Amino acid sequence: MIRCRRLARTYDNAYPALKGVDFKIAPGEFVAIMGPSGCGKSTLLNLLGLLDRPTSGDYFLNDQDVSRLADRERTRKRREHIGFVFQAFNLLPRLSALENVCLPMTYAGVPASQRLARAQELLSRVGLGPKFRHTPVELSGGERQRVGIARALANRPSLLLADEPTGNLDSTSSGEIVSLFKDLNQDGMTVILVTHDPSISAAAERILRLKDGELAP
C-alpha cells in the first residue's frame, strides 16, 4: 500500500527533519512510529497523509507515485484515501459531533441525506451513539477523540493515520482509543500511528523507530 524510497523533508531548505527513509507498509498492517521528540515522526506522518510534500525521494501510495502531485491533486488523493486523527482532536467547537463527522463528506460532495445516515452509523461504531448532538465542550477528551476517529473514517479511507491520538488522554481513555484502532484494523483498515507510549505501540504489529530523521534498524 505504501512504499517510500529515500523520502526526505528539509524545512526552509535548512533543517533536515527527515533524511531519506526507505520502507513499505502492506494493506491491513497496524504500524506504530516511535522515537524521541524532534526525530521527525510528525514530519513523516504528514508526508504519508499528503498534508506536506517531500523535498526529495519517492512516495508510492496504492502503486501511484504521489510525491510530486500538484496541490489540488494531492488534496483530492488525501480526501479519497486518507483519514487523519490529530492529538488535539481539531474539532470545530460550534458544531455537534454529528456535524463534525458530516463535514468531510460535505467537502467530498456526498448528498446531505447520505451524510447524516453515515455520520450516525460511524458515531455508533465508535461508541458515541447517545451523544450525537453534543458539541465538543460537552464531551470528554476520550469522547472527542472518538468523534475525531469517526470524522477520519467519513469518506471511507483506505489508510488511517494518527499523530499521538492519545497524547491528551488519561490512561483509561487511551486504552479505549487504542482498542478502537485495533478493532478497525481487524476489520481490514491499514493503521499507522505515532506514539511515545509503549503500551500503545504494543497494540501494533510492527514498530518503525526514527532517530534524528533516520530509521533505526
Q: Which residues lie near ligand ATP (CB under 6 A)? A: 11-12, 15, 17, 37-43
Grid cell, residue 17, equals 527533519
- Nearer to ligand ATP by C-beta: 11 or 107? 11
* Closer of 160 and 194 to Mg ion (Cβ): 194
* Shortest reach from residue 96's CB to ligand ATP, in Å: 30
Rounded Cα distance between 96 and 138, Å, is: 9
Which residues between 14 and 33 bind Mg ion (CB under 5 A)?
none
Ramachandran angles phi, psi of 166, nearest 5° = -110, 10
Nearer to ligand ATP, 37 or 113 (CB): 37
149 CB-contact burial (10 Å; exposed 0-12 / middle 13-18 / buried 19+):
buried
- For residues 151 and 167, give the distance between their C-alpha atoms in angstroms, rounded to a whole number: 18
C-alpha cell at 211: 532517530
Nearer to ligand ATP, 38 or 129 (CB): 38
Q: Shortest CA distance to 213 belongs to which of 42, 4, 24?
A: 42
Partner touching 43 among ligand ATP, Mg ion, none, CB below 5 to 8 Å by kind = ligand ATP
Q: Which residues pair with 161 in a beta bridge?
A: 84, 192
What track of x and - describes contact with Mg ion for positions 35 through 54 (by CB under 5 A)? ------xx------------
Assigned C-alpha cell, 114: 447520505
CB 126, min distance to ligand ATP, A: 25
**Least distance between Mg ion and beta carbon 18 (Å):** 12
Binding positions for Mg ion, rule: CB under 5 A: 41-42
